[in-house]
Structure 1
Amino acid sequence: MKREHSIAGMSILLALLPTGSVVYMGGLCYPTHSSSIVCMGLVILFIGFYAACFVRTDRFRFALPDLFAGIVAVVAAACYLKYPGLLSLGSLCLPVLYAGIRRVGKIYPFFLLCGTAITLVLLSLYGYLQYFRLLPSHSSYFPVTGPYHNPAVYAGVMVILLSVLVPYLVIVAFRRRQGKGVVRGIIAAVLLAVPVLLLTEARAAWVALGVSVAYTFFYAYRYTCASFFRKYRRAILCAAPVILLSGGLVCYQLKPHSADGRLLIWKVSLRMIKEKPLTGFGINGFPANYMFYQARYLAAEGTAYERYLAGDTHLAFNEPVRIMVEYGLGGILFYLLFVGWLLTFPAKWNVVSHTARTVLLTMLVWGLFAYPFRVFSVMVFSTVALACLANQCKPLRVFHCSFSRAFAAFLFLGSALLGCLGASTMQAYYRLQALARQPAADVRELDTLRPLMKGEPAYGYICCLLPDRQKQDRLLKERLDAYIHMLPSPVAFVWKGDVHWRLKEYEEAEAAYKKASEMVPALQTARGRLVFLYHDLGREEEALRLAEELLTEKVKVYGFDTHALRLKLKKTFEGKLNNCFTKKSNAYEKK
């Protein structure tokens, strides 16, 4: 196949990638999370086969980004071997995507721009339909989430797409190098997306978009900006801190509890880093350990406000912090080395190199307040950007050999292997859901799915759900221990306490309820269980003290569970509670 045709074919396949992030597929575990992995992973496999079979290159030379990509590929393989699941399998597809783009060596940006603009329009329309309640939201707390479970993820994907289109408008369109129809279409897509982005109230995405736009203007018009700065240097130096401080205060006041909650997570994470600064906690170390450290911190040093803020989370909301917690000093040095290279390396000045750098910069800025490495769509866009940037870099002189055939073999065999693993994983997912719908299903059949789904939280949950339905408490206790080891949470500890209570292991039940309460003090469920446990054991004084505490304290969200708990407490301890506490509780419920 001629080189021009192979480049055009690869560019068309890459243009299909963004649309995979819009698809919503029912019938999957966590469909808002899994749909994009399945759809985009399928396109990536087509890209791998296409690059291996239909692209001809005489010579390939390594560049510095290939070393970064190679290290990330090794980490992705290690993650899949330790915790196999759909997200880790999708991460294994990223090296195939990167290698396919590198093998072609060049893409036509027009196709990517069209695919990005179409995807942005579809996402924007999705948000408008949810806002006007013509489509259901995927969260009970937020009206606008797009095809995702959270507006933060929705806004993050939209910001990445905008970071592709804005550089094009600034660099190409403003210099009149493209047809008016294309420019108007892209401008319309951008203007359509901005109101939806504001509706998400995702401050981290706003900051990332602001940085990417500022970077684009500065780099495109750096000489004009430099002369403007020299002319108005004093005014700029005086106004910049005021503008930044005002913007920060506005973002903080928009959701102060959310911002303070992130500060609490980072404060606890620093204590984790202090304990293992060199080696870290390993793969999946943050979600497997954070809640225990939060419980320890809140019990020893936490203020009343921090105990109120603390929630059930397994995300660091800061990628450098998470990397330092899990991979220690080596991980954070690798991250900083990549950031330094991205900001300083020399590359050809064209729209592809600048757009790719802007996409990566947007992802890094968003990662200071969010979790881009848990959003597969963002990982795919970043991989495409890194590969396009590597195609613009000078090759390393230490490698003089041709790796064309080796690359083709890697792409073909890798795509075939991932295709087989993907088909087996999807079958395992559907089998898992079929078992979850059968109350009398054989629990041991779940063990056959373990090699493909050990790292999937849904698998761990259903492994506990079936024994619970069948009243196999001894087996349920073992499965809960394994589930807590992978993903500890107060809900799991409450569940564990219930099992111990049914088995009449009262000390273990009390310890489990207390651990759940220490993790998230504002969660009343665990202390409610303690009240009734103490009541059954005859420890009436402790039960009354906890009941009065639950009836009078302020809760984050007064829902049906809280209302039912308070009614049960009043009925159980009728006539034993102080009248003042009962009046305070009634007055709070009427608000």
Structure 2
Amino acid sequence: MKERIYYVNTSWIKLRVIVSLIVFVGVISFLGVVLISPDHFDTGEMAYQKMWLSRMAVVFAVCSLFSLSINDKKEDRFYHSVIWSLILLGGVEAIWGLGQIYGQVASHHSLFALTGSFYNPGPYSGYLAMVFPVCIGEWLLLKDKANRDRMEQGKYYISLGVILLILCVLPAGMSRSAWLATAVSGLWVYGVHYSWGIRLRKVVKKDKKKVFLVAAIGLVVVSASGFALFFLKADSASGRLLMWKVTSMAITERPLTGYGSDGFVHAYGIAQEKYFANANYSETEEWVAGSPEYAFNEYLQGAVEHGIPFLLAMLSIIGFSLWKGVTEKRFSTCGGVISVLIFACFSYPMQIPGFAVAFYFLLAACIVGRSRFYMLLFTVMITLWGIFYWNHNWYDACKRWSSCKMLYKIGAYQAAKEGYESLYSELNSNGAFLFEYGHCLHKLKDYESSTKILEKAIVHCNDPMVLNIIGKNYQAEGEYGKAEGWLIRSTHRLPNRIYPYYLLAKLYAEPGYRQPEKLKRTAEIVLTKEPKVQSTAVKEMREEVKTLVVSLNGNGSGSN
């Protein structure tokens, strides 16, 4: 009888281990999308990650439903699977980054040596910052355990190792927002683990003056650190402030409904045009202005695209998740969520599929626990998300687009045009594709068709070159008034660029649209404006404008 009971218990233990492994496989297969970085086309394209998610959603759903069929409320499998998937993935990312620092692994961006599997150091550093408090939380739990078995001993050293790896790599990323997120979330996890809140209340009761003094010193240190971080990359920080100001202006136009998914680019472009058209801006703002794809603040971007009510609803869900996680003492996942919330104030983690799904799984891990209902609900949500990406996947089209891009770059515009035409129905909401297609038509002198494509590109692309080429199209067709309007819009959208002023100078020198006074004012801007980057192109534009002015003066003196 005892042998039978022992056999049943052993079988049950093996079944529990197998189920835990299945759940872990389902979770890490989905979160592992962060390591996907194909070289089939430009690295900024996320189509392959979305295709991977659509496939792995099926794997996750199968694994999750299998685990739900085993009625065992003792194991918090999903929570531990999320924790250890992120720790392992964070370790891989940190080692990847070390390889790039030492020149053994190629970077994914020509301007940065350190990117991990991402496309620039910012999101990469933010991902490591998200994993850091998760590692801290698990390491502290295992550290305080007196008698660790072999598995726990292995986890203890793995979590400690990943912590040290992240601390080695993170400073090289030069991401101030990631440093801040790491410090705050790490201290929070450490503090709640050792009940700093309770201890602080006791100290406040005993000696309020000392607490006030320490708080004042802490405030000074934090303020000084904030100023130091600001001036570490002052232009970058000023650029973020301008972006947030312009984004806030866009929000005031449609505070309730927003501009729709992917509507940020168009809304921001229009708002920045209006801002600089009013001429009430500083030289610093003109200098740091850009044409961003993201708001570098997920809260503002959410409000622009979906409205303030949607933003408040999302914040309520996140707040509930944190409350639930703290209540259930799931401090590791709560620390990860806090890190992302801080990082999201200064960057765009939710625009990167691999980063976004990690955040969603952290939120779910705070809530799900051992609840079969919550687990089933989350599985259904992931399945629906996977179905959406399965039906709206542009990976194959993007691969074909990369071939067209090669033809476009070497000047084989007719061949490129045929490829763009075949891809238009699939990629007609991709701003970069529409810009290339429209510019290709411009080079082929099909100005009317080029303008139609580029007017659609404006909705999905913030690059002022779209406005410039539309202006050149109208100029080539002899519609000079329309050309001037589009080029003036370009000068307002990005006033620190010399090129649109150069195009305006050429327009005002056109025999059919000669504007001597406007030409002189525009030429003066071209000749005196300080370019962001000195280049041969700037010198050539200035020489050509000088020639136009000399020609104008010569014609003027001749007529007198």
Please tell me the TM-score bracket, short chain as reference.
0.7 to 0.9
The question of whether the paired residues in 1 share the 8 Å contact of 2:431 and 2:461 is answered with yes
In the superposition, relative to structure 1, how do residues 356 and 560 fare at CA in structure 2: closer, same or farther (>3 Å)? Answer: farther
Q: Specify which structure has the bigger relative contact order, considering alpha-carbon pairs within 8 angstroms and separated by 6 or more residues.
A: 1
Aligned to 2:270: 292
The question of whether the paired residues in 1 share the 8 Å contact of 2:298 and 2:348 is answered with yes
The question of whether the paired residues in 2 share the 8 Å contact of 1:291 and 1:314 is answered with no
In the superposition, relative to structure 1, how do residues 382 and 506 fare at CA in structure 2: closer, same or farther (>3 Å)? Answer: same
**Amino acid corresponding to residue 447 of structure 2 in structure 1:** D
Shift in Å, 1:157: 1.5
For the residues of structure 1 that align with 2:379 and 2:155, how far apart are their CA atoms? 35
1:556 aligns to 2:532 (yes or no):
yes
TM-score by length of 2: 0.82
Aligned to 2:334: 357
The question of whether the paired residues in 2 share the 8 Å contact of 1:21 and 1:40 is answered with no
In the superposition, relative to structure 1, how do residues 191 and 575 fare at CA in structure 2: closer, same or farther (>3 Å)? Answer: farther
The question of whether the paired residues in 1 share the 8 Å contact of 2:265 and 2:462 is answered with yes
In the superposition, relative to structure 1, how do residues 411 and 497 fare at CA in structure 2: closer, same or farther (>3 Å)? Answer: closer
Aligned to 1:85: none
Structure 1 segments unaligned to the other structure (5+ residues): 61-102, 578-591
Q: How does 1:519-530 map to 2 (within 5 A)?
A: 519-530=493-504
Report which stretch shifted further, 510-519 or 453-462.
Answer: 453-462
Q: 1:341 aligns with which of 316, 320, 325?
A: 320
Aligned to 1:100: none
1:252 aligns to 2:230 (yes or no):
yes
Shift in Å, 1:492: 0.9
1:283 aligns to 2:295 (yes or no):
no
Shift in Å, 1:360: 1.6
Report which stretch shifted further, 467-476 or 490-499.
Answer: 467-476
The question of whether the paired residues in 2 share the 8 Å contact of 1:57 and 1:104 is answered with no
The question of whether the paired residues in 1 share the 8 Å contact of 2:116 and 2:124 is answered with yes
Aligned to 1:26: 39
Residue 160 of structure 2 aligns to a residue whose secondary structure is: helix
Deviation string, structure 1 residues 565-584 (Cα, Å, up to 9, x no partner):
3344455556999xxxxxxx
Structure 2 segments unaligned to the other structure (5+ residues): 1-13, 408-412, 554-560
Deviation string, structure 1 residues 470-516 (Cα, Å, up to 9, x no partner):
33221111001111123343111112112122222211111111111
1:565 aligns to 2:541 (yes or no):
yes
The CA RMSD over aligned residues, in Å, is 3.5
The question of whether the paired residues in 2 share the 8 Å contact of 1:148 and 1:154 is answered with yes
**Amino acid corresponding to residue 388 of structure 1 in structure 2:** A
Aligned to 2:356: 379
The question of whether the paired residues in 1 share the 8 Å contact of 2:51 and 2:390 is answered with no
**Amino acid corresponding to residue 308 of structure 2 in structure 1:** L
Shift in Å, 1:374: 0.7
Shift in Å, 1:251: 1.0
The question of whether the paired residues in 2 share the 8 Å contact of 1:49 and 1:411 is answered with no
Residue 561 of structure 1 aligns to a residue whose secondary structure is: helix
For the residues of structure 2 that align with 1:208 and 1:159, how far apart are their CA atoms? 6
Shift in Å, 1:245: 0.5
In the superposition, relative to structure 1, how do residues 14 and 228 fare at CA in structure 2: closer, same or farther (>3 Å)? Answer: farther
Structure of greater Rg: 2
Q: 2:366 aligns with which of 385, 389, 408?
A: 389
Shift in Å, 1:281: 2.8
The question of whether the paired residues in 2 share the 8 Å contact of 1:24 and 1:31 is answered with no
In the superposition, relative to structure 1, how do residues 560 and 168 fare at CA in structure 2: closer, same or farther (>3 Å)? Answer: farther
The question of whether the paired residues in 1 share the 8 Å contact of 2:250 and 2:304 is answered with yes
For the residues of structure 1 that align with 2:416 and 2:534, how far apart are their CA atoms? 38
Report which stretch shifted further, 559-568 or 188-197.
Answer: 559-568
Q: 1:531 aligns with which of 497, 505, 509?
A: 505
In the superposition, relative to structure 1, how do residues 323 and 393 fare at CA in structure 2: closer, same or farther (>3 Å)? Answer: farther
Aligned to 1:189: 162
The question of whether the paired residues in 2 share the 8 Å contact of 1:289 and 1:488 is answered with no
In the superposition, relative to structure 1, how do residues 426 and 177 fare at CA in structure 2: closer, same or farther (>3 Å)? Answer: farther
Aligned to 2:307: 328
Deviation string, structure 1 residues 386-412 (Cα, Å, up to 9, x no partner):
22222138799xx9xxx97x9988877
TM-score by length of 1: 0.78
Deviation string, structure 1 residues 292-338 (Cα, Å, up to 9, x no partner):
11111122122233222211123222222222223333123213323
For the residues of structure 1 that align with 2:516 and 2:166, how far apart are their CA atoms? 59
For the residues of structure 2 that align with 1:497 and 1:435, how far apart are their CA atoms? 25
1:210 aligns to 2:183 (yes or no):
yes
Q: 2:296 aligns with which of 309, 317, 330?
A: 317
**Amino acid corresponding to residue 126 of structure 1 in structure 2:** W
Aligned to 1:481: 455
1:432 aligns to 2:404 (yes or no):
no
Aligned to 1:198: 171
For the residues of structure 2 that align with 1:507 and 1:575, how far apart are their CA atoms? 23
In the superposition, relative to structure 1, how do residues 575 and 432 fare at CA in structure 2: closer, same or farther (>3 Å)? Answer: closer
For the residues of structure 2 that align with 1:202 and 1:410, how far apart are their CA atoms? 33
In the superposition, relative to structure 1, how do residues 421 and 342 fare at CA in structure 2: closer, same or farther (>3 Å)? Answer: closer
For the residues of structure 2 that align with 1:136 and 1:265, how far apart are their CA atoms? 31
Shift in Å, 1:432: 2.8
For the residues of structure 1 that align with 2:243 and 2:382, how far apart are their CA atoms? 40
Report which stretch shifted further, 163-172 or 251-260.
Answer: 163-172
1:123 aligns to 2:93 (yes or no):
yes
The question of whether the paired residues in 2 share the 8 Å contact of 1:534 and 1:543 is answered with yes
The alignment-based identity, stated in percent, is 20
1:57 aligns to 2:34 (yes or no):
no
Deviation string, structure 1 residues 70-106 (Cα, Å, up to 9, x no partner):
xxxxxxxxxxxxxxxxxxxxxxxxxxxxxxxxx9984
Q: How does 1:511-522 map to 2 (within 5 A)?
A: 511-522=485-496
For the residues of structure 2 that align with 1:529 and 1:40, how far apart are their CA atoms? 45
In the superposition, relative to structure 1, how do residues 226 and 392 fare at CA in structure 2: closer, same or farther (>3 Å)? Answer: farther
**Amino acid corresponding to residue 227 of structure 2 in structure 1:** L
1:173 aligns to 2:143 (yes or no):
yes
Residue 370 of structure 1 aligns to a residue whose secondary structure is: coil
The question of whether the paired residues in 2 share the 8 Å contact of 1:441 and 1:466 is answered with no
The question of whether the paired residues in 2 share the 8 Å contact of 1:151 and 1:200 is answered with yes
